[in-house]
Amino acid sequence: MNNTTQYIEMIENAVKSCLPELSEETKYINEMLMYSLESGGKRVRPLLCLEFCKAAGGDPEKAVKFALAVEFIHTYSLVHDDLPCMDNDDIRRGKPSSHIKFGEANALLAGDALLTHAFYLLSDAAVSGDVSAEQCVRAVKELSTLSGMKGMIGGQYIDLKYENTRANLPVLVEMDTLKTAALIECACALGLIAAGADDGEISYAREFARELGLAFQITDDVLEAEDENESSDEKNGKVTYVSLFGAEKARELAAIHTKNALAALNHFGDAADEIRLIAESLLYRKN
Ligand code: GRG
């Protein structure tokens, strides 16, 4: 078994046991969260978190709560993104979206609960002794920045702002860097923080993640354009790499960004071999 398989297992096991015990009156909240947390996500972000921890000589077990925190933020973003006031998608990962299953108000609450619990998980990493208080504070700064206005929320704002308006390439690059690459950057940075890495080392991971994030989003655009059942981009009048350049050119651009991402891994030497495989496999993924 390679580390990647083992890490995915660690993440799946941790997801199953990371929610608090709730009262009879409130325990349905956990059911709503679990519905979205366990509906077949690829776990790309938590996996990268554990892989970077290992590549920097840390113990991935100690980074699991950090990894989950990023997956919680990612899951909340999908639940809210599917809402009628956002992308209005009834289907997520081939199943009814959270608001279709539980109603709009509950889906809003489920997303809020995922967001809030992400920060509980960061604090619990320190309280349980997995990381130091200083590592925890660095992680809070990272996650709040990269999932907030200077990250994912900023990207989503640009996305909404340009609905039915033709965004140009620089706008598209800024949007995707914030909306998608920022959280991937956060996952990599948190893995390195858990390993005790310094800012210099983290900067190589940031470069990798920004390039991988762009490749990831461009591939996502191509896959969505190919999927006749799922193109909310088209429905919502969104400009994507596919609508700007066509699918073939978009795939070429994704390959260029993946190559740039791989170049940024040189600093980590052989220790980053599994990360290289993940980056390459994401370029050829089917979902
Ligand atoms: C605050 C109301 C409110 C909404 C926030 C921030 C936000 C809505 C949405 C984030 C933007 C977003 C959904 C970006 C898409 C990024 C992306 C490519 C997601 C798909 O990631 P995968 O393929 O998903 O890793 P899986 O299904 O594998 O987990």
d(CA 214, ligand 1 centre) in Å:
14
Q: Is 77 near ligand 1, meaning CB less than 6 Å away? A: yes
pTM assigned to the model: 0.97
Phi-psi region of 23 (alpha: psi -120 to 50; beta: other; left: phi over 0): beta
Q: Which atom of ligand 1 is found nearest the CA of 183?
A: 16
If you average pLDDT over residues 162-167, what whole number do you get? 90
Ligand 1 binding pocket mutation candidate from 81, 238, 286 (most atoms within 8 A of CB) = 81
Cα 81 to ligand 1 centre (Å): 7
The answer regarding whether domain 3-283 maps to CATH 1.10.600.10 reads yes
Q: Which atom of ligand 1 is nearest to the CA of 287?
A: 23
Residue 144 predicted with pLDDT over 70: yes
Q: Is the CB of 80 under 6 A from ligand 1?
A: yes
Binning pLDDT at 50, 70 and 90, where does residue 133 land? very high
Partners of 92 in the beta sheet? 95
Q: How far apart are the first and last CA of the chain?
A: 24
- Encode pLDDT of 30-89 as tens digits: 999 999 999 999 999 999 999 999 999 999 999 999 999 999 999 999 999 999 999 999
Q: Please enumerate in sequence order all residues whose Cβ is within 8 A of that of 17, keeping only pairs 6 or more positions apart, or say none.
A: none
